[in-house]
Structure 1
């Protein structure tokens, strides 16, 4: 198999009856080898400036593969993921579903994503049978904060992805304490997800979008943002998104805020000759290490309708940062809670000073 072929089989033409995100996340079941093996049908998207394929795609395809192996009356309620090794946009990904446990109320699946026989990503998921909690329930949920509605007249950010977003001003942005800030945005899949996709298509789409601007929250609450680096030659992938041709690291689930090199906003002014130049802080590396999703209403939302997300970083230290995310439907229903830890390393001053 040629090393530059991104899928095991030739990608079919996108199905016009489905939303773009459905075509993006389509899987091919490798029945002739093992019914629990799947592979990406379309090339994986590599965000411009990123060192790896978009992590949300691997998360979502692992979920989609696992959902194919459970009865229809079971829904995913938790997903715990680890980014392990480099993932290359030019190499097919093979997903292996392991049937860990099939119980009466709960089912457990583990999925490994492999490239050239090496694990690049692993996740364990738990599914619960509908109605397993009984008729009498304890219920509460965090309320959605009051924020401006998405503006349908404004151009949407998408950057080549099958979803669109509108960011909202950072809450408490003037605070000297990064942990008190909240980054916010509206998200939705482009187009309409087909009825044939069922609730599974909406769940996979939510998992895909959950990785948008996630670990990058750490840089944003510290008022660090990206200095774009030159990109290598790119090619268009099968879904219209750019696909960088160099080898990449899967863990770099990078959006505009997931940085390779950044500066502190208040350090960018030119120093006067009468005072010493201020050495800027730069992020030398930002890499996602793990990703967790708790699904609260797996059949009670549409991923092609606006979803509000709020991110908060409660801690950063020892070269890592922790971010939590809550996701609400537009009508205020809490539909998911997510957590991600990532490697966040600053360039040392000796490295930065040498460039001034």
Structure 2
């Protein structure tokens, strides 16, 4: 099993599906047990990162759970916890637990495991389409004006082959000069490459959104607090020769910094310079209320 990144040999890419659908494809393990899945294709380990790209685990947990609820149910909340760094050299196993089965709501808990230990866990709530009655209340933040979408051929965050499944474009930080971090706003335009297939349904679109959600989001912390987030350059090897892995990481970090207007290591950590991020996390508090329903209706 050493350096076996998938449990079974990956099939050829499906040309009828978008790149992100192929990346997130799951293999169901019905012969081993019910509601068990594993990654069909190898998962990306960003250069310099502690483990695999977190968006892949988020999205595949969602994709696994979606296969255990009726097709007319959509996820409306997802609470995620990263427990351990994922290892890109071995498969990830996804275990779906049925917590609630209702007429309008369903709840699932999914654990992503490697070597028998959970690396990620999430609890999701699903709601049946049009179960809120005839009248519902909706609102959304309006799309910013004069925003140029990203090019289909380019991406600011790619995988190790430079062929990531989505494209992204950074948008300037609002209130960047404010002394109060809570007044600043970071924004990003993201979209899946190509066109998600009709057979993927709304589930494929939601899984794609979950995959892309881990890009740029946590970096908000360092950007609004003006922290150096690119890490300390690795020490040179004793023999003075750079390894392919070190060169790969250097090229990736250079591309990432250039995408944000940072060049070289002139702003790196040290006395009198910007402090470096050691470890960070983002906490989002969300109040959830039942969906408004018409008088006399039942859940």
TM-score, normalised to structure 1's length? 0.67
RMSD: 3.0
Higher relative CO (Cα under 8 Å, sequence separation at least 6) belongs to 1
Are 1:281 and 2:274 counterparts? yes
Greater displacement, 192-201 / 284-293: 284-293
1:86-97 alignment runs, 5 A limit:
86-97=85-96
Q: Distance in 2 between matches of 1:135 and 1:118?
A: 45
Partner SS, residue 158 of structure 2: coil
Deviation of 1:282 (Å): 2.7
What is the total number of aligned residue pairs between the two structures? 262
Q: 1:7 to 1:19 in 2, by over 3 A?
A: same
Are 1:179 and 2:172 counterparts? no
Question: Which runs of no fewer than 5 residues in structure 1 stay unpaired?
Answer: 235-241, 244-254, 258-262, 270-276, 295-356
Q: Distance in 1 between matches of 2:42 and 2:150?
A: 32
State whether residues 49 and 228 of structure 1, in contact with CA within 8 Å, keep that contact through their aligned partners in structure 2.
no
Q: Distance in 1 between matches of 2:106 and 2:152?
A: 44
- Residue of 187, 203, 208 corresponding to 1:205: 208
1:37-76 alignment runs, 5 A limit:
37-76=36-75
Residue aligning to 1:229: 233
Deviation of 1:227 (Å): 4.9
State whether residues 78 and 124 of structure 2, in contact with CA within 8 Å, keep that contact through their aligned partners in structure 1.
yes
State whether residues 81 and 290 of structure 1, in contact with CA within 8 Å, keep that contact through their aligned partners in structure 2.
no
Residue aligning to 2:171: 168
TM-score, normalised to structure 2's length? 0.79
1:1-356 alignment runs, 5 A limit:
2-150=1-149, 152=151, 155-160=154-159, 161-225=164-228, 226-227=230-231, 229-230=233-234, 233-234=244-245, 256=256, 268=267, 279-288=272-281
Partner SS, residue 60 of structure 1: helix
Q: Distance in 1 between matches of 2:284 and 2:28?
A: 25
Q: Distance in 2 between matches of 1:184 and 1:50?
A: 23
Q: 1:38 to 1:122 in 2, by over 3 A?
A: same
Deviation of 1:284 (Å): 4.3
Partner SS, residue 55 of structure 2: helix
Which has the larger strand fraction?
Answer: 1
Q: 1:209 to 1:120 in 2, by over 3 A?
A: same
Greater displacement, 105-114 / 170-179: 170-179
